[in-house]
Amino acid sequence: MMIRTAVFLSLLSWASAYAEGDSEAITITRRDSRDTIAGAAGHFTGSVRVQRLFEVKAPGRTGGALVTFEPGARTAWHSHPLGQILIVTEGAGWIQPWDGPIQEIRQGDVVRIAPGQKHWHGAAPTSRMAHIALQEQLDGKVVEWMEKVSDEQYRKR
């Protein structure tokens, strides 16, 4: 698993340099140089940590973050104008589209969410879950946050 993680982080470093739009240079952003912050209370329920891996920088439009959810923690309902890709790196969690059932996601799964699809994702009740979230910016926006997922909605599995 450590080798897979190292390879993946190397790939993200490449994606970061590409997204930053500097095709003639190599940019390395060291792990220790990126801050981890608590997920904003208006956008998350429970204990969530967000580490920005790389920001959108023209001419690229992709940004990425490592998001870690403690058991039971989750996002609010939200959508992305150009969709989102989640790569589950640890544990088990749940994801739900607005008009569909809750589905389990586990380490190694790759989840593709369609543009404009209202959804939420987070950890299962008894497992921590981490994922790398990749999304593209459209007109300066990568996400539209909506109402929080209620405890009743979350337990409806």
Q: How far apart are CA 137 and CA 53, in angstroms?
A: 15
**3-state class of 29 per DSSP?**
coil
State pLDDT tens for residues 3-15: 455 445 444 454 5
Q: How far apart are CA 23 and CA 150, in angstroms?
A: 45
Indicate if the pLDDT at residue 46 is higher than 50: yes
State pLDDT tens for residues 101-132: 999 999 999 999 999 999 999 999 999 999 99
Per cent of the chain over pLDDT 90 is: 71
Q: What is the pLDDT of residue 33?
A: 85
Q: What is the pLDDT of residue 31?
A: 83
Q: What is the pLDDT of residue 22?
A: 53
Q: What is the pLDDT of residue 90?
A: 98
According to DSSP, the residues that pair with 42 across neighbouring strands are none
pTM: 0.82
DSSP 25: S
Q: How many CA atoms lie within 13 A of 85 on its CB side?
A: 8
Q: What CATH class does 2-154 carry?
A: mainly beta
Indicate if the pLDDT at residue 91 is higher than 60: yes
What's the mean pLDDT in 85-97? 98
Q: What is the pLDDT of residue 58?
A: 85
Q: What is the mean pLDDT of the chain?
A: 88
